[in-house]
Amino acid sequence: MPTFSPDNLLAARFQGARPGLELTAVVDAALPVTRITADVLAQDSKKIPLLDEFVLRLVGTNLRTEEAITGFLGLPANMVTDTIAEQFSKDLLTYGPPDGATSRPLALTARGDQTARELASITPVRVNEPLVFDQLLWKIRPFDRRVIIPRRQAEGQHMLLLPAAQRRPVEMSDITVAEINAQLRERGLNDREVLQIRHITESKAPRVMPAKLLVYADAGRTDIQLGVIIDGELSHPHEFALLSHGGAQALGIQVDAPAERPALEAELERARIPLAEVTQKRAEQAAAQLASVTPTELPEELPREEIRAISVFEHPDLLDEALTQARRRILLIAPWIKRAIVNTDFLSKLEKLLRRGVSVHIAYGYTLNDPKNDRDAVRKLENLASRYKERFTFTQVKSTHAKVLLYDDVWITTSFNWLSFEGDRDRTYRMEEGTLVRGRSIADTQYNRYLDLIAQESV
């Protein structure tokens, strides 16, 4: 069974969440947040049952018989008897010396006396409570402060910045005692009760909470809806908040017509498993992965031959599979190269393959001097090719519409831009569909065909 990347898993889980609409994209998003430190008056709960406390404190005030305590509290005698017995077992109560009465009086042990004095002296204290304020919902939320990142980092990663509900500093009136106590309970802090907010301090550094945006569209691409994933789950409050700010249109999100899928030879087309069938199977596999407590570590037994559709969401995983698992060869053709894809991680994986003796051919080019290419990413690939001349050829071609990934015995032809699917600030999405063909003879034929094409079209 395949292991799904986080985005691919989200796509498999939520592709059917909007009946009549198709999931078109899973987008890295950034939810604006601010870190708040609240100076509050709080009281920690006493770590002893209330009846136990009353018994100890009454004995400490010289109410020293079971009958006197029962009468004072107005409770059933058996409840007081059981509580007194428990305090004896905890070494908090003992019997004092006879005072002439028919029964020996109760007395506090040294430990019991200390406990009674501590119970009597508990008073509210001022403490600082760290909070995270969600600026889209304009309320505090129980987010893990450790996963919050600087806004500048999110911008560098081309994350889609979600709007804030208001453009003003957070005020003390925006936070309630009840909200803080509710968050304390969610964090498992049941022994603290906030009584009053005295002051708040807002961090000045802009921060964001990483999130995912699901983009859905109808067949005519006139109805575009958004789903918001926070901590791995759909958040309807955030979705409604985005709608109130103009939804997809306000964020500049558009969905274009699906790109035309490269056709196969007639015989291969007839054998091709369609996308709907593949998608259903992958949804079942994703559900099994989520349900598995201890995922199997046995490698998946792949079929020797297969011809099937691949969705836009599967392409990045297949590129990563090629970069990490190829044993003999990789051939990749793409019109454009972006630094968001050809990054340090990409280059590191590629160099590991070259060191293992894997043969690599990468070709790119749509037009000469195309400004859509990131020159520094191209330069890094050129440098790597110069160091591994016998194993790595990096070629600019005059013009290519081909979008091909071939590794070992797998050939993928598609409309997906392998080396530029991230990095553009243009928020226009479309369903990119491709075909995966697994088989030694077909892969060999296509490999040689594309090598000839690269040689003929090289600049």
User: What is the DSSP secondary structure assignment for residue 247, as one 8-state letter?
Assistant: H
Q: What is the CA radius of gyration of the chain?
A: 33
CB 390 within 8 A of CB 359: no
CA distances from 106 to 56, 220, 245, 326 (A): 10, 84, 69, 80
Q: Over its length of 459 residues, how does the chain's per-residue pLDDT go in tens digits?
A: 567 888 888 998 898 899 999 999 999 999 999 999 999 998 876 667 778 888 888 888 888 888 889 988 888 999 989 999 998 998 989 988 877 655 788 999 999 888 887 776 666 788 999 999 999 999 999 999 999 999 999 998 889 999 999 999 999 999 999 999 999 888 887 778 888 999 999 999 999 999 999 999 998 888 999 999 999 899 999 999 999 999 999 999 999 888 888 999 999 999 999 998 998 888 888 888 777 655 554 445 667 789 999 998 999 999 999 999 999 999 999 999 999 899 999 999 999 999 999 999 999 988 777 788 899 999 999 999 999 999 999 999 987 778 999 999 999 999 999 998 875 556 788 888 999 999 999 999 999 999 999 999 887
Domain at 47-121: CATH code: 1.10.10.10
- Rounded Cα distance between 7 and 311, Å, is 12
For residue 410, what are the CA distances in angstroms to 175, 413, 429, 440?
56, 10, 27, 8
Instruction: Answer for the pair 44, 51: CB distance below 8 angstroms, yes or no.
Output: no
Helix (H) or strand (E) holding 33: strand 22-44
Q: Are the CB atoms for 419 and 342 separated by under 8 Å? A: yes
The domain locations on the chain are: 28-43+125-250, 47-121, 256-457
Dist. CA 232–CA 286, nearest whole Å: 14
Q: What is the pLDDT of residues 312-329, one digit of tens each?
A: 899 999 999 999 999 999
Q: Which residues of 341-362 are buried (b: 16+ CB within 10 A; e: fewer)?
A: bbeeebbeebeebbeeebbbbb
Of 441, 402, 406, nearest to 321 by C-alpha is 406
Q: Sign of torsion, CA 84 88 90 92?
A: positive
Phi, psi (rounded to 5 degrees) for 236: -65, -35
Distance CA(141)–CA(11), nearest Å, equals 25
Q: Which fold has domain 256-457?
A: Endonuclease; Chain A (3.30.870)
Residues 43/192, Cβ–Cβ less than 8 Å: yes
Asked whether 219 and 257 are in contact (CB, 8 A), the reply is no
DSSP secondary structure letters along 272-303? PBPHHHHHHHHHHHHHHHHH-SS---SPP---
The tokens 């003003």 sit on which residue? 168
- pLDDT, tens only, 176-195: 999 999 998 888 877 788 88
Structure tokens that stand for 296 in this block: 């199997």
Q: Does an H or E element contain 127, and which?
A: strand 125-134
By DSSP bridging, strand 359-364 and strand 392-396 are: parallel
Which of 422, 354, 352 minimizes the C-alpha distance to 157? 422
